[in-house]
Amino acid sequence: MIKPSFLLAAFFSTCISVFAQSVNPFAKYSFDQTYSIVGLGRSSEDSFQKYSFILRDTADFNILKQTWNFNKRSDFYLRQEFFEIFILKGKELVDRIIVNPTDNNIQVDNNWYYFDNSLLEALHEKFPLEYHIQQRSFRSESISKAYADSIRKEPSLIYASESYYLGKHEGQFYITYNKSKTIPNFQMATKAACKLLGEKAGPREFSAAYDLSDYNIAHENKFRITVESSKAIYDKIRPEGFAKGDWEERDFEVYSYWLCAGAQNKTEKFRGGNSRLNVDRFNVKALEMKPEYSGGISAFYDYIQKAFQWPEAAVSAGVSGKLIADFIIEKDGSITDVKVVQDLGYGTGEELIRVLRNSKKWQPGKIHGIPVRYRYSLPLSLPPPPQAHSTLAVIGASTQSRKKLPPLQATKGQYYFEHKLNKCGDITFVNEDGKQALSDRFSILNYVVNGFNADTLNKLIGRASYQVVIDSTGKCCTISSKNETNLPDQSLRIDEIIDSKTIWNVLPSKSGKKEAVSAILVFTFTEDKVKYQHVAFDKNSDNLVELEFSEKNKGGRW
């Protein structure tokens, strides 16, 4: 399973377009009532949700055609967080426009221009959109397409993407060129790869890009090009003047964006003074008084902490992580339609539903003095239970801090950790002194994160440490480990991922020879993040020092 290191890796392609005097991302379209324009953040929980909007009226489309004109070129900053504007005809994608609110720029026809975020703020104020995102992965493109087609019939669906990433290809591999007179830089390496692939396939059947991975940073005299294509194209490529890496299959992902409950009942126009108030709408911007629990929100947190009883299965499993529930506060203050949006299993979701349903009534939200229904989202943080009937830690309430992991301890010798794997045979090595073993830390972390299903990853808490030996050819083998997580060794299987997936390069020692070195790789799992560290013994002591690290949200963002 692969995920490209950079969503916008095509930025490094050799095709560069010319900037126009003035551009408008909507000018080329003849809009009618079958169109809609939707602005979405990549996550329904990220900071860009404050810009979300939905337009369904041709008059509004024409205003964008008249006012969204850009002519000043902007620098481009590669970011994982961005805002997307979808142009949809029905529920089919016509075009996608990318905005970086952080850097105040917008992409139009593959070029970047300065952008004023107040344009998004104005749209959100007039046409607010509340949505949530679902993600499903499939091993077959045909199955993913069938699923996407089926959900497009649902009235609450905004848009379904059959592939969240740029390519819609079966997998990925690397083409590596040595620096030479004909390949002096990464632009020429990318051009050579595109020419090679173009001889085997059409331009839409592959993508090739150079990215700033650890490998490319560490190898000044080599250029590694990331290629996405079908397995058939990969098989056609014969290494001549370059090295071809291993084939990596991908999952076919469907990301779908859905209107929150109730939002699809009525699309309200906010321009002018003739719009009719919809008092049944959820989370209405015009609320004069938000719902309130008797005694305030702290009293509500206290109620949940006291009422929540840990299920025995959750205690036995040591489950922990984030639990999120949505519910509606009705006009009479009662709680209905309780849904667990993010569950940890082992009965924790069912227990939270019980607790919320037994809550006493709230004071309802009001507009012009009229009670309205309001959808409320409640995030909860569950630390590993130290004993039965532990209390629940509520985000926003004062709770005991989680017990921190002690510093990692390792001993120099044949085995650094107590769990010996004994699968590498007889091998001699030196303890890594400084950063002697190089690999792509982003790829390593991706491989490990993608090795777990979403439910297991969300529940996984603790630290897993591995001693690896990398021989002079870059082959890796794990020889000892230490498991300080809430999962047994047989459920982790991180050592198998390290041995089978990671690619290393060993630097020559002071003698000028490449020798097998032993390094330590550490993976720390918290409620919402996974951290990878490459550590080694300090040259002057037995203390461990960090050589590099990478961190990733469990939801997929760096």
H-helix segments, 263-380: 297-307, 312-317, 348-357
Which one-letter amino acid corresponds to residue 163?
S
Separation CA 337–CA 345 (nearest Å) = 19
Would you state the pLDDT for residue 16? Answer: 35
Q: Is the pLDDT of residue 525 over 50?
A: yes
Segment 2-10 shows an average pLDDT of: 33
Q: Which of 247-256, 312-321, 330-339, 343-352 has the highest mean pLDDT?
A: 330-339
Q: Per-residue confidence at 5, pLDDT binned at 50, 70, 90?
A: very low
Hunting for tokens 């906010």 — which residue is that?
270
Q: Which residue has the higher pLDDT, 130 or 39?
A: 39
Using N-to-C axis directions, what is the helix angle for 494-501 and 441-450, rounded to 10°? Answer: 130
Would you state the pLDDT for residue 367? Answer: 65
Ramachandran category for residue 422: left, alpha or beta (phi over 0 → left; psi -120 to 50 → alpha): left
Would you state the pLDDT for residue 168? Answer: 58
Q: Which residue has the higher pLDDT, 344 or 328?
A: 328
Q: What percent of the chain lies above the pLDDT cut of 90?
A: 14
Instruction: For residue 487, give every residue at least 6 positions away whose Cβ sits within 8 Å of its Cβ, in sequence order, or none.
Output: 456, 460, 462
The closest alpha carbon to 74, from 102, 104, 99, belongs to 104
Would you state the pLDDT for residue 287? Answer: 55
Q: Per-residue confidence at 81, pLDDT binned at 50, 70, 90?
A: low
Instruction: For residue 249, give every residue at least 6 positions away whose Cβ sits within 8 Å of its Cβ, in sequence order, or none.
Output: 1, 2, 170, 171, 231
417, 410 Cβ separation under 8 angstroms? yes
Q: Is the pLDDT of residue 278 over 70?
A: no
Would you state the pLDDT for residue 265? Answer: 33
pTM of the prediction?
Answer: 0.39
Tell me the per-residue pLDDT of 470-489, one tens digit each, with 9 for 90 and over: 988 888 999 999 988 888 77
Would you state the pLDDT for residue 273? Answer: 27
Would you state the pLDDT for residue 272? Answer: 27
The separation between CA 58 and the C-alpha centre of its own chain, rounded to angstroms, equals: 34
Which of 204-208, 492-496, 506-510 is the least confident region? 506-510
Would you state the pLDDT for residue 54? Answer: 92
Q: Is the pLDDT of residue 38 over 90?
A: yes
Segment 504-533 shows an average pLDDT of: 87
Hunting for tokens 């409640």 — which residue is that?
378
The closest alpha carbon to 134, from 15, 312, 259, belongs to 259
Tell me the per-residue pLDDT of 227-270, one tens digit each, with 9 for 90 and over: 988 888 999 998 888 999 888 877 677 888 888 754 333 333 22
Segment 353-373 shows an average pLDDT of: 82
Q: What percent of the chain lies above the pLDDT cut of 70?
A: 79
Q: Per-residue confidence at 344, pLDDT binned at 50, 70, 90?
A: confident
Q: Is the pLDDT of residue 43 over 70?
A: no
379, 322 Cβ separation under 8 angstroms? yes
Tell me the per-residue pLDDT of 115-153, one tens digit each, with 9 for 90 and over: 888 889 889 888 888 887 777 766 667 777 888 888 888
Q: What is the average pLDDT score of the chain?
A: 77
Tell me the per-residue pLDDT of 447-457, one tens digit each, with 9 for 90 and over: 899 888 888 88
Q: Is the pLDDT of residue 20 over 60?
A: no
Q: Fold for domain 277-394?
A: 3.30.1150
Q: Which residue has the higher pLDDT, 202 or 242?
A: 242
Segment 484-509 shows an average pLDDT of: 84
392, 308 Cβ separation under 8 angstroms? yes
Separation CA 37–CA 35 (nearest Å) = 7
Would you state the pLDDT for residue 466? Answer: 95
Domain map of the chain by residue range?
A: 9-166+253-258, 171-249, 277-394, 419-553
Q: Is the pLDDT of residue 329 over 50?
A: yes
Separation CA 555–CA 40 (nearest Å) = 17
Q: Is the pLDDT of residue 183 over 90?
A: yes
Which of 192-196, 503-507, 552-556 is the least confident region? 552-556
Would you state the pLDDT for residue 163? Answer: 55
Q: Per-residue confidence at 373, pLDDT binned at 50, 70, 90?
A: confident
Would you state the pLDDT for residue 507? Answer: 85
Segment 51-55 shows an average pLDDT of: 91
The closest alpha carbon to 207, from 8, 443, 16, 444, belongs to 8
Which of 20-34, 255-269, 310-324 is the least confident region? 255-269
Tell me the per-residue pLDDT of 407-442, one tens digit each, with 9 for 90 and over: 888 888 888 988 888 777 777 888 887 788 888 888
Would you state the pLDDT for residue 137? Answer: 67
Segment 309-334 shows an average pLDDT of: 79
